[in-house]
């Protein structure tokens, strides 16, 4: 947290990261705040209910997104 996305959005919590991933990489994740009030703001949850090709594509998108943070 504390980084900025390629489109200029500041990431202050997991909810910000989840929204940015959806907007910028068309990836849906669940912010950790939905599961834990203590540490959830630092985490996201992902589900892998799809085929291996889609999982590989999702991991690539996530990696590309994280590498581009400033």
Tell me the longest C-alpha to C-alpha distance in the chain: 35
- SS3 assignment, position 58: helix
- Indicate the burial class of 5 (C-beta count within 10 angstroms; 0-12, 13-18, 19 or more): buried
Q: Against a cut of 0.75, is the pTM above it?
A: yes
pLDDT at 34: 76
Q: What are the tens digits of pLDDT across the range 1-60? A: 899 999 999 999 999 999 999 999 999 999 988 787 777 788 899 888 899 999 999 999
């Amino acid at each position: 947290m504390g980084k900025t996305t390629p489109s200029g959005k500041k990431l202050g919590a997991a909810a910000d990261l989840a929204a940015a991933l959806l907007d910028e990489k068309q990836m849906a994740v669940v912010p950790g705040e939905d599961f834990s009030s203590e540490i959830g703001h630092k985490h996201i949850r992902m589900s892998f209910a799809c085929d291996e090709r889609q999982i590989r594509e999702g991991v690539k998108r996530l990696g590309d997104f994280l590498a581009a943070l400033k």
